[in-house]
Structure 1
């Protein structure tokens, strides 16, 4: 016997909707226009404050995911596939929109979910073929992204260089930004990045110069595959001591080759120390830093440096 959900009292209806998962709500919304409008009105009045919308446009697949809490897994609620995928007869746990225009399909998918739940896009994951999504998100919502990730490409050519340059100049995220791009040895970036809480370059960080490092506005910076030299870092430390990068608390460089040897310029007044400090990183975990070198900024703020042949770690203690 059909359930008369459209004639259900609002109190009962609210309880019913609260029992559904986001993917079930999206699926139900396709039953009729009346039910879609009912669900839209429900979420306009009772916006799910802890729900977060994640947009993925990666490997030619557009996806809209929802996280119902900070610890919950992402739940795929609507997918956009190219029409050529229709013959594969794969089973999905949510509705799929098939079209001949992948970009248009992805836009329609995300717009449908944002309109249904009344949510902004919280996080964006892209690759080199979906740089359009960055500009599209920036233009369609006032709030900036919270998290952004750009996944690496395999080819190191001029197209890959252009894609990463576009991402660095246009992608913005207030909390976490991950930039992973395979670019040529000749790639250069002359702009600024940030502000954000955490910047991560998980691989191929050889393009980051000393000037780049001085223009990254983040609290935590981690770079893998760095080619920065001792002289580069001396210039960076001089910039920091003079008052640059006032928000920086954590810097971790892993070098491409294990050839780094510390030779700090005398004017930096770097001294050996046996200090032991605990740094509380983002996402709740902590790191113990013991020994190394101490350096002090002109305003009295101190930092502890640890380095060897393969890494350089700098921890800044803003609270004395």
Structure 2
């Protein structure tokens, strides 16, 4: 029978090396053992430069690090069997029930309220690893997590994702995502807005905007956008609207644009290019395009059109009623 290894009695230099070799989920589990283990991990662990912390709150709530699936998970305390052995840890100023996932061996913390559970594990892991959150994925019942995170950290979130197929965000929630929440790079909205929702403000500068149900987006909205990747599914924009947007880009509007996709269901490329065909060049060969944020498109039978500063874009109608504007040179996704 082997005796326990006195890990916390190891001198700091080799102990720091051991901690750096340990997986994040193992460190989280170890941190709950005692205040000393928590302090040692917080003090000695080196945070890799490319490490990012992500919180998934739209389906199964969990925290993960880049290149690692999960470091800590939350569960609903109503679904844990009373016959299981009860184990508790102290978190968020209270004792909460915990168990180890039987297959992948990360901890599950049980809460009655999903939002409170997500807030608690987010606060715990960000403090333990001395790292800010970079991505938040929320749904209707965890929406307030965005504001909670932004109120705790000085660094703005890089990416905000709203995913809810069963409930629409309120007008205030949509306005908050589009106008008020601190987000430096990407906003993705995968939910249907309320039928009477209108966005009356100018779009702020955002690198990547992806909206799965964008019927509410008007040409006036489009002309205020300043993005690199813009993706609008189920859009109500007309061919005339798209023509206005293309002319806007040709005259210097939306100057950072690399890829624009709008699926309206009824694109007529000649109406989109109305008044511009004289300077357009038909491109019959297939081209593969990758945007700065990893979106890929196959372009065929498009038209090349050049801005006054020499920048060229391919304008292409695709079979599912989507207009694509791809600006060259393409940029390989390395984010």
2:315 maps to 1:316: no
- Alpha-carbon deviation of 1:200? 1.9
2:246 maps to 1:237: yes
Matching residue within 176, 186, 189 for 2:186: 176
Instruction: Answer yes or no: is the 8 Å Cα contact 1:57–1:130 preserved in 2.
Output: yes
2:252 maps to 1:252: no
Q: Deviation string for 1:97-141 (max 9, x for gaps)?
A: 333444333222111101111111011111122221121222221
Q: What are the residue-to-residue correspondences of 1:1-320 with 2, within 5 Å?
A: 1-43=3-45, 46-59=46-59, 62-67=61-66, 72=67, 74-87=68-81, 92=101, 93-156=105-168, 160-201=170-211, 203-255=212-264, 257-258=265-266, 260=268, 262-263=270-271, 264-266=273-275, 271-274=280-283, 279-282=289-292, 287=297, 289-307=299-317, 310-317=321-328
Provide structure 2 residue ranges, at least 5 long, that are not aligned to the other structure. 85-98, 331-335
Instruction: Answer yes or no: is the 8 Å Cα contact 1:269–1:295 preserved in 2.
Output: no
Instruction: Answer yes or no: is the 8 Å Cα contact 1:51–1:66 preserved in 2.
Output: yes
| Structure 1 residues 283 and 153: alpha-carbon distance in aligned structure 2, compared to 1, 3 A threshold | closer
SS of the aligned residue for 2:192 comes to coil
Q: Distance in 2 between matches of 1:128 and 1:242?
A: 40
What TM-score, normalized to structure 2?
A: 0.80
Q: Distance in 2 between matches of 1:197 and 1:214?
A: 15
Worse-matched range after superposition: 209-218 or 29-38: 209-218
| Structure 1 residues 291 and 62: alpha-carbon distance in aligned structure 2, compared to 1, 3 A threshold | closer
Q: Distance in 2 between matches of 1:261 and 1:317?
A: 19
Provide structure 1 residue ranges, at least 5 long, that are not aligned to the other structure. none
Instruction: Answer yes or no: is the 8 Å Cα contact 1:271–1:293 preserved in 2.
Output: yes
More helix by share: 1
How many residue pairs were aligned? 307
Q: Distance in 1 between matches of 2:294 and 2:197?
A: 35
- Alpha-carbon deviation of 1:268? 8.1
Instruction: Answer yes or no: is the 8 Å Cα contact 1:56–1:124 preserved in 2.
Output: yes
Q: Deviation string for 1:68-110 (max 9, x for gaps)?
A: xxxx2x4322223343233386862322333344433322211
| Structure 1 residues 6 and 155: alpha-carbon distance in aligned structure 2, compared to 1, 3 A threshold | closer
SS of the aligned residue for 1:195 comes to coil
| Structure 1 residues 193 and 47: alpha-carbon distance in aligned structure 2, compared to 1, 3 A threshold | same
